[in-house]
Amino acid sequence: MSKKGFDAVVLAEMMHIEGLLAWLAYVFLTSLVVLLFVNPIVCGCALQRVDRSINSSEVGSLGILGQAYHLLKPFGSLITSRQYDFGEATEGQAARVLSHSSYMRRESYKELFTGKVYEGDFFHVVGEVQDVAEENIEVEIVPVFYDEEAAVIEAEPLHTSVKPLEILAPSQKSPFEMMILDEAASKKVVSYELLVKSTVTTKEPCKLGFPNHSSHVSIIDILEVVGEAENIGPENLERVKVLATFYDEAGTVIGADFCYAEIDTIVSGQKSPFGVSNYPRKEITGNIKSYGLCGSGAKTAKAPYRELQVVTHVPEIDRSGYYKVTGRVENAGEIDATFVKIVATFYDSTGRIVGYDSGYAVPGDLKTGETGSFEVALDNTELSTKVASYSLQVQCFEYRSTYPSTTTTQTTTVPTTAVTTTPTTTATSIATATPPTSITTETPTSISTTTTVQPSPTSTPPPPLEAGPVMQMVGLAIAVATPVSAWLFSRRRRSRLRVLMRNIESTFTKFRSNVSKCEVALLLIREEAQRDLEGGRITAEQFNLIDKRLQEYLKELRNLTGNK
C-alpha cells in the first residue's frame, strides 16, 4: 500500500474514532443530566470519579468528554458539599451517620488555654450518629474534606462545637457539629466524608427522660426549645447536659445545640428545666420542622444540701408585661450556704412548660438562720399571658459526701396551684441518648396568645398622654422601644452569665484530674469575666457570683492535692 493510501486509512480511522467519542460524550452528558435530577448524590460522586480520571490523564485527551465534565462539575461540587450518602450499615459496623448537612458561616472562636482567636468564614458540618450495634459504644466522628481536585484538605485546626454523647446505647442517636477554624481551607471544601470510629464499652450510661418540653419562636426570630430533664435512674446526677437536634421537612439534620440543666445536681426522680435554640443561625429558623432531645450526666454520690426553704413568694405582671415572682429564701439548716440559686419553671393551664428563669439570692451567701430576697421572671410578654402556675427550686454550692438514709427532693417546690404536668411524650427507661421509641421529635408551632387569669399588676398604668398626634407617636415609640431594649439588654447580660458559669462547670469537669492545667483554665475564665464587666456585658453582682464560684473550685482543686 502506498504512503498516501496508508495516510487515508489512518485519517478515516481517526475520524471514525472521533465520531465514536463524540457519541460517547453525548451519552455521558445526557446520562449525567438525567442522573442529576434522579439521584443528585450519585451524580456528584460520579463527577468526582471523572475528575480523578481527567487529572490522571486517563481521559484528558477526550476534549468533548472533558468539556462535558467541566460543564457539569459546578453542580457536582454543589451537591457533594451538601450531602453524601453512606447507605445502610455494613456488617460488623457499630455506628453510622444517619443524616448530615454543611454550611458556611462567619465565626469568631477563642482557644481556652492559648487565648488565640480564630475569625473568618468557616466550613461547618452538622449531623446525627446512631448506635446500630447491640452493645454500648463510644464514638468519634472523623471528617475528611476534599477540594475541587479531589485532594484531601489539611483541615486544621478542627473544632467540635457539639460533641456526641459519651456513651451511646443500642439504637440511640446523638447530634454532632464541627467546623474548620481556617478560612482558606474552608473555602476549598467541595465535598467531604464522615468516618465513624466506635469502641465497645462496658460503661453504663445514666438514665434521663424528657417528659415535658415545648418550642416557640423568640422576638429575635430564633427557635427556642424549653423543657424539663428528669433523672429516672437510681443515682444522683451532676452536670446534666442536654443536646438538641434540629431537622428540616425531609428529616435532614440542619442544626444542633447543647446546654446544661439549670439544677447542678439532680437527685433521682427530680426534674430540672433547660433551654436550647438554633442561635445564632436565624436563617434556618423557618426550615426547622421538628427536633429531638437526648442527654447525659455524671453519676455522683454527693447529696445536695436540702435545708434551703422558700418562705414567701408573690407573683405579678410587671410594667413590662413580664410574669415575675419575688420572694424570700431561708437557710434553715446547720451549715452556711453559698451561691444560693432559685430556679423557677413556668407552666400553662395544661401543665406544659412555657419557660423558666433562675437568679441568685441577695445576698448570695446565707449563713444559718439568715434569709435573702430573690426575683425571677419570664421575660416574654406573649408567653407570660399563658402562665397558670409555676414551681420554685433552690440549690447552693454545699453538698454532703454520701447519700442520706432516705431520698428526698433536692429543692423546695412551691406551685401557685396544684400542678399536674402533662407530659408531651412518655418517658421510658432511657440511657444517655433518648431512644426513638421514648422521645419523639416535636413539630414546633407558632404560639398563639391565649387570655388567662393573671395576677394583678402592682401598680396602675399611667393615664394616656393628652397631646397632639406627633407627641402621641413619640410616646408610643418610646413605650415600645423601652421594654424591648430593656429585654434585650437584660437577656444579653443573663445569657452571658450563663455562658461563663457553663464554661466554669465544663472546664472543672474536664480538667480537674490535671490540677495545674485546670487552675490555669479557671483563671483565664476569670480574666474573661473581668473584661465582660469592664465592657458592661455583665454586672458587678454577676461578676461577684462568677468570682465566688471560681474561688470555690480553686479551693477544691487545692484540697485534691492536699494543699490547704
Instruction: Give the model confidence (pLDDT) of 299-338 as tens digits.
Output: 998 889 989 999 999 999 999 999 999 999 999 999 999 9
What SS3 state is found at 293?
strand
Residue 437 has pLDDT above 80, yes or no: no
CA-CA distance, 293 to 219, in Å (whole number)?
Answer: 23
Q: Answer yes or no: are the C-beta atoms of 256 and 498 closer than 8 Å.
A: no
Residue 270 pLDDT class (50, 70, 90 cuts): very high
Is residue 78 located within the same domain as residue 99?
Answer: no
What confidence score (pLDDT) does residue 80 get?
37
The C-alpha cell at 426 is: 412518655
What confidence score (pLDDT) does residue 26 get?
58
Could you say which of 18, 48, 82 is where a domain stops?
82
What confidence score (pLDDT) does residue 10 get?
43
Residue 342 located in a structural domain: no
Residue 261 located in a structural domain: no
Measured torsion, CA atoms of residues 20, 22, 28, 32, in degrees rounded to the nearest 10 = -170
CATH number at residue 129: 2.60.40
Could you say which of 200, 235, 265 is where a domain stops?
200
Q: Answer yes or no: are the C-beta atoms of 502 and 242 closer than 8 Å.
A: no
The C-alpha cell at 52 is: 480523578
Q: If you average pLDDT over each of 46-50, 96-100, 415-419, which comes out highest?
A: 96-100
Q: Which residues of 200-222 are buried (b: 16+ CB within 10 A; e: fewer)?
A: eeeeebbbbbbbbbbbbbbeeeb
Domain count, the chain: 3
Q: Write out the residue range of the structural domain in which residue 104 sits.
A: 95-200
The C-alpha cell at 141 is: 466522628
What SS3 state is found at 255?
strand
What confidence score (pLDDT) does residue 382 get?
93
Of residues 563 and 213, more confidence is placed in 213
CA-CA distance, 85 to 141, in Å (whole number)?
Answer: 16
Average pLDDT rounded to a whole number, residues 56-83: 42
Residue 422 located in a structural domain: no
Average pLDDT rounded to a whole number, residues 78-96: 48
Residue 161 has pLDDT above 90, yes or no: yes
How big is the CA angle at 221 (ends 217 and 226), to the nearest 5 degrees? 35
Could you say which of 82, 111, 128 is where a domain stops?
82
With a CB cutoff of 8 Å and minimum separation 6, the contacts of 94 are 131, 132, 133, 135, 137, 198, 200
What confidence score (pLDDT) does residue 302 get?
87
Is residue 144 located within the same domain as residue 173?
Answer: yes
Average pLDDT rounded to a whole number, residues 356-371: 93
Residue 60 located in a structural domain: yes
Q: What is the mean pLDDT of the chain?
A: 75
Residue 78 pLDDT class (50, 70, 90 cuts): very low
CA-CA distance, 178 to 173, in Å (whole number)?
Answer: 17
Is residue 482 located within the same domain as residue 516?
Answer: yes
What confidence score (pLDDT) does residue 448 get?
31
